[in-house]
Structure 1
Amino acid sequence: MKTCGKSAAITVLSAILLVACGKSGANDASEAASAPMAAPSGWPDAEADFVNVEGGETGDIALKDAPEGVLIRVSISGLSEGWHGMHLHQVGDCSDGAEGFKASGSHINPEGAEHGLLNPNGYEAADLPNIYAGPDGVAVAAFFNTALSLSDDGPLSDADGFAVVIHENPDDHMTQPIGGAGARVACAAFNLGE
C-alpha cells in the first residue's frame, strides 16, 4: 500500500459546497432537490451509489486513482441542513440501513492511528473532511486522500471491499472513535476485487 506516513495530510482540493435555495416560495416537501452526478462518465476508476437508511438511492460517489492518493468526488441529497462527518469503512456492505449500516464495519485504519484530522496522535486513513448540506439537503464536494490507493493491494482493494459512510452530525476531528459524528445516515459500497 502506498502511504506517505503520518506527516501526509488529507487535503481538501476543493470543498465545492453547492447550497441551492430551491424554488422561490416552494414549501412542498415532495419537491426534494436532487444532487448532480459526482463525476462525468469515464472519469472515475470506481463509483457507487449512496443509499439512505430506507434503502433509497440518494446520490453517488466517484473515486479516481492519483499517483500518490485518491481523488474523491461526492454528490448526495436528502441530508439535513448542516455539516456531516464522512469516513471510509472496512467492508463494502450497505445492506443493513435500518440497523444503521453496521455491516460496513469500523474505519479503515491500517496504521492503527487515532481518529481525527486535528488529532496530534492521528489521523486514520479513513478520516475525511466534513461535507455541508444546504437547506435543500444537497451536498457536493471533492477531496484528496493521500493515505490510500485504489491500485495497490491495500484496504480499498481487499476481498470484502469498503464503504463510504456519511453521518448525521459533523466530525469534530478529535473525539474517539468517530469525532462525535453520530448515526450513519447514508452509505456507498465498493468492491474493487470483483
Structure 2
Amino acid sequence: MKALIALASTIALMAMPALAQDMRSTRATLSGNGVSGTVTVSETASGMAHITIDVRGVPAGAHGFHIHEKGVCDADEGFKSAGGHLAGGMNHGVEDSNGPHAGDLPNLHAGEDGIVQVEYFTDGFSLDPDASPTISGPDGAAVILHAGADDYASQPSGDAGDRLACGVLYPPQ
C-alpha cells in the first residue's frame, strides 16, 4: 500500500508542471513619463487573475491603476489610444452600486523612492479569449497608471487624472 501511495504521489508531482503550463499568462512592459517596469497577469487554478506589478520611477503618492479596453499605447496622444476602462457592462468604481468596471483595480502607492511592488487577485475579467469580459481579445488590453488617485466613484474613470504610463497585455499564446 505504501508503494502505491508513493507511486500516486510521484505521478501527481510529475503532472504538476504540465498543469502549470496550461495556465494562461501575459506580461506588459509599462512605460511613459520616466516610469518603467512590468505588469504580469496570470490565470490561477481557481479562475481568478493574479496580477503582479513591479515598476520604478513612479511619483510619490497614490495612483489610479486600470485595465483598459484596447491594447494600444500611443504616448504621443497621452495613451488615449488605450480607450476606456475594460467595463464589462458595469459603472466605474466600488462606490457605485452598479460598479466596479471589470478593469478597476485598487490604487497603487509609491514611496519617495518611486518603487511600486504589489500583487492583486481579481475575478473581474478573464484570460480566456472566449469569456466576457476578457483581456485576451485579438488586440489584447492595456494597463494604465494614472497621475492621480482613483476616487472609486467619479464617472467614467475615477477622476484619476492624466495617463502617466501604459503597457500592452498581449493575448497569451
Which TM class, normalised by the smaller chain length? 0.7 to 0.9
Distance 2:125 2:147 in 1: 25
Contact 1:44 1:62 in 2 (8 A): no
Aligned mate of 1:147, from 117, 121, 124: 124
After superposition, give the CA deviation of every residue in 1:32-80 in whole Å (9 maximum; x if it has no partner): xxxxxxxxxx998211211114xx6700011110222200000111111
More strand per residue: 2
- 1:49 partnered with 2:29: yes
* Aligned residue pair count: 149
Kindly indicate whether residue 167 of structure 2 is the aligned counterpart of residue 188 of structure 1. Answer: yes
Secondary structure of residue in 1 paired with 2:43 = strand
Q: Which amino acid aligns with 1:147?
A: G
Aligned residues: CA RMSD: 2.0
1:109 to 70, 76, 87: 87
Residue 193 of structure 1: how far off its partner (Å): 6.0
Match of 1:25 in 2: none
Q: Kindly indicate whether residue 70 of structure 2 is the aligned counterpart of residue 91 of structure 1.
A: yes
Spell out the pairing of 1:12-23 with structure 2 (5 A cutoff): none
Q: Is the 8 A contact 1:132 1:139 kept in 2?
A: yes
- In structure 2, the residue corresponding to 1:129 is in which secondary structure? strand
Tell me how far apart the structure 2 counterparts of residues 172 and 58 of structure 1 sit (CA, whole Å).
Answer: 24
Q: Which amino acid aligns with 1:97?
A: A
Any conservation in 2 of the 1:91–1:161 contact (CA below 8 Å)? yes
Q: Write out per-residue CA displacement over residues 119-168 of structure 1, whole angstroms, 9 at most, x where no aligned residue.
A: 22211101000010100111111111112111242431111110010000
User: Helix, strand or coil: the match of 1:156?
Assistant: coil
Alignment of 1:59-78 (within 5 A): 59-66=37-44, 67-78=46-57
Q: Structure 1: which 4+ aligned runs deviate by more than 4 Å?
A: none
**How far off is 1:113 after superposition?**
1.1
Question: Does the residue aligned with 1:164 lie in a helix, a strand or coil?
Answer: strand
Matched letter for residue 139 of structure 1: V
Query: Unpaired runs of 5+ in structure 2?
Result: 1-20
CA contact (8 A) 1:117 1:128 kept: no
Distance 2:145 2:35 in 1: 13
Q: How far apart, CA to CA, are the structure 2 residues paired with 1:182 and 1:44?
A: 32
Per the alignment, residue 100 of structure 1 pairs with 78
Q: Is the 8 A contact 1:62 1:72 kept in 2?
A: yes
Please report the TM-score for the alignment, with normalisation by the length of structure 1.
0.71
Partners in 2 of 1:71 and 1:48 — Cα distance? 14
8 Å contact from structure 1 (residues 158, 193) kept in 2: no
Distance 2:24 2:110 in 1: 23
1:160 aligned to 2:156?
no
For structure 1, the 5+ residue unaligned runs are 1-41
> Larger Rg: 1 or 2?
2
